[in-house]
Amino acid sequence: MRVLIVGCGYVGRFLAVELSSDGDTVFALRRTPFDIEGNVTTLQGDLFDPASLGVIPKKLDAVVYTVSADSSSVGSYRKAYVQGILALRRIFSSREDSSPRFLFASSTSVYGQSTGEWVDEKSATNPESFRGEIVLEGEAAVKSSFDHACSVRFGGIYGPGRTRLPRSVQEKTFKLPPIRPYFTNRIHQSDAAGVLRHLLRLKSVPTKVVAVDNDPADLFDVAEWVSRRVDSSLPAEVEAGWKRALGHKRCSNRLLRQLGYRFHFPTFREGYEPLLGD
Ligand SMILES: NC(=O)c1ccc[n+]([C@@H]2O[C@H](COP(=O)([O-])OP(=O)(O)OC[C@H]3O[C@@H](n4cnc5c(N)ncnc54)[C@H](OP(=O)(O)O)[C@@H]3O)[C@@H](O)[C@H]2O)c1
């Protein structure tokens, strides 16, 4: 399979290495020069510099879009999640040779539910933030631009080098959420890449899939588990400034499991354990 990874950062790099070790022909694009282990062709290009996109190869079977925003401004979000996709659409619509499968790294921020309810692919998407709204626009752009497309709604991605929560408990800067339970949804880097790899191997893909681990855990429970593992104690201080419990929901990965995906790190416990002290 010939696969292009656009926006080859934390997740994309992990995926590139895995696919190349499977024997796929992998191309990986980002703006800054970079190296990747394994047999991956690295390409330097900017989605907003059309001339630089001439490096994109032809006859691709799949494109995986894992571009993130440079900042949390509306403009950066729109560039990363909507305009970048339209830039790729222009390239692929001018070519007669390919209609690649397109996997879009979306986010569970498309859900506005915040009273602890379960959500899945069929749930309403009324985002609370402009971020979720723009990511949802990105999903629509993907759907209207590519025939075989899937929006993969990731929860918070953690893993080596991305350990803010356990570190804050260890460093005693963690602040308790003012409500309990306060559900949070996450996925390990290795599973985020694993899900994308799995979706590339399926005969066909759903238009959207929620990608979180098996345990939408109460943040207090997560922090308490970490504190026990590192022989620390939880602070009594409660996080100030909460008007409402934004994002308090439980995302279901049932469809992902029905599609045959098996998690390397089924919950935060397996995922965080080797990272404590990271
Ligand atoms: N992190 C999370 O918790 C989380 C949660 C839900 C969804 N997601 C989504 O999952 C995806 C992957 O996340 P990640 O953590 O792997 O992101 P990341 O590490 O920030 O990687 C994003 C990559 O995009 C490249 N990029 C940005 N603008 C570009 C442009 N104009 N042209 C070409 N490349 C560009 C960046 O490289 P250069 O700067 O070199 O171009 C970077 O390598 C993102 O779409 C993110 O929004 C993440």
Ligand 1 atom nearest to CA at 84: 31
What's the rounded mean pLDDT across residues 236-254?
84
The DSSP string of 34-58 is ---SSSEEEEE--TT-GGGGGGS-S
- Going by alpha carbons, the residue nearest to atom 39 of ligand 1 is 31
Average pLDDT, the chain: 94
What's the rounded mean pLDDT across residues 228-246?
80
**Residue 221 confidence (pLDDT):** 95
Please work out whether the CB of residue 77 comes within 6 Å of at least one atom of ligand 1.
no
Domains and CATH numbers, the chain: 2-160+185-215+250-266 (3.40.50.720)
Q: Is it the case that residue 98 has pLDDT exceeding 80?
A: no
**Residue 158 confidence (pLDDT):** 98
Say whether 227 sits in a helix, a strand or coil: helix
Q: How many of the other CB atoms lie within 10 Å of CB of 93?
A: 11
For 143-200, the pLDDT digits (tens) are 999 999 999 999 999 999 999 999 999 888 888 888 899 999 999 999 999 999 999 9
Catalogue the long-range contacts made by 44-53 (C-beta closer than 8 Å, 24 or more residues apart): 47/6, 47/79, 47/83, 47/84, 47/87, 47/88, 48/79, 48/83, 48/84, 48/87, 50/87, 50/90, 53/87, 53/91
CA of 81 to the centre of ligand 1 (A): 10
Tokens linked to 77: 């979000």
**Residue 136 confidence (pLDDT):** 98
Q: Is it the case that residue 269 has pLDDT exceeding 80?
A: yes
Rounded CA separation 269/266 (Å): 8
